[in-house]
Amino acid sequence: MQNFITLAQIDEAAQAIKSRISIQPVVGIILGSGLNGLADSVQNPVYIPYGEVPHFPVSTVEGHAGRFVIGELEGKPVLVMQGRIHYYEGYTMQQVTLPIRVMQRMGIPNLIVTNAAGGVNPNFTPGDVMLITDQINFVGMGGLNPLIGPNFDEIGFRFSDMSQPYDREYADLARKIAKEKGITLQEGVYTGLSGPSFESPADLRFLHMVGTDAVGMSTVPEVIIARHGNMRVLGISGISNKANLDGSTITSHVEVMEAGKIITPKIETIVRGMLHVM
């Protein structure tokens, strides 16, 4: 059997963070590529680089700072991940999702996940934001489910329910906030791939056919682990580029980062609104 991260190691990481903060965060927030800005608004911030947390992998991607920012947003104690860990960096699925396990052991009951994604739904335009209503675990279906390995019975069941990955009540609240603030909120299914290459036109036509609205390289494993531990999840994708179903344009990381500038204020408004009800 492979070497899996143990609950004792997770607790060591959780303890290392707890020892450096004096608040109890109630919401974990993961910021996707180009969406780092929100972390700068955190009040009374404590910064903890991932490299200073035992057993933590370090994010290596441009646009991902790789640290926790812990403090208050809208008066709510939050733990923000400025940058996430991706499977394509070469880490195991357990390492990729370790931050979620740590949140669970810190007693954080809510998770807001954001990401940059390619718009597969032809009605989406770069700069749009999409409420994630469900997800397709493309990587996990092929054998890379992050729950593979010994089950943590203290946290959740061996065969974890995934009938409601994204909390319906939170989704309704997000719709309401977007409407009040005049933000057009698209909705749909997020499909998680491994990356790091972007999709070929045939990949994208396939993903479209099976019901994908937005495609990206993250989020799905995190949400599986979050639900295993019964966290309530809100997911928002920033549509950074139009998926290129006919091969006529090129997708680049620069494009993803640029769209982030338009998307960030919209996501920030929704997240701020949500913090009042979480």
Number of chain residues interacting with ligand HPA (CB under 6 A)? 13
**Site membership for ligand HPA, residue 36 (CB under 6 A):** no
- In the complex, minimum distance from the CB of residue 82 to ligand HPA, in angstroms, rounded to a whole number: 18
Question: Measured from the CB atom, is 82 or 114 closer to ligand HPA?
Answer: 114
Beta strand pairing status for 232-242 and 214-216?
unpaired
CB-based closest residue to ligand HPA:
118
**In this chain, which of 38, 102, 147, 217 binds ligand HPA, going by CB under 6 A?**
217
Question: Measured from the CB atom, is 114 or 241 closer to ligand HPA?
Answer: 241
Beta strand pairing status for 214-216 and 110-119?
antiparallel
**Site membership for ligand HPA, residue 198 (CB under 6 A):** yes
Please provide the distance, in angstroms rounded to a whole number, between the alpha carbons at the two ends of the chain: 39
Cβ 89 vs Cβ 83: under 8 Å = no
**In this chain, which of 251, 262, 269, 272 binds ligand HPA, going by CB under 6 A?**
251
88 is catalytic: yes
Cβ 190 vs Cβ 136: under 8 Å = yes
Q: Name the DSSP letter for residue 5.
A: P
64 is catalytic: yes
Q: Amino acid identity, residue 98?
A: L
Cβ 242 vs Cβ 256: under 8 Å = no
* Contact window for ligand HPA (CB under 6 A) among 149-157, 209-217, 228-236, 270-278: 209-217
Of 39, 64, 81, 231, which residue is the catalytic one?
Answer: 64
Contacting ligand HPA within 97-116 (CB under 6 A): 116
Question: Measured from the CB atom, is 107 or 196 closer to ligand HPA?
Answer: 196
Of 13, 14, 33, 50, which residue is the catalytic one?
Answer: 33
- The DSSP H or E segment spanning 104 is helix 98-105
Beta strand pairing status for 67-73 and 43-49?
antiparallel
Of 41, 88, 91, 194, which residue is the catalytic one?
Answer: 88
**In this chain, which of 17, 48, 174, 215 binds ligand HPA, going by CB under 6 A?**
215
User: In 10 A of CB 87, how many CB atoms?
Assistant: 23
Beta strands in the chain (DSSP E): 27-31, 43-49, 67-73, 76-82, 110-119, 129-136, 185-192, 214-216, 232-242
Tell me which residues touch ligand HPA (CB under 6 A). 116-118, 198-199, 215-217, 240-241, 243, 251, 256
Active site residues: 33, 64, 86, 88-89, 116, 217-218, 241, 253
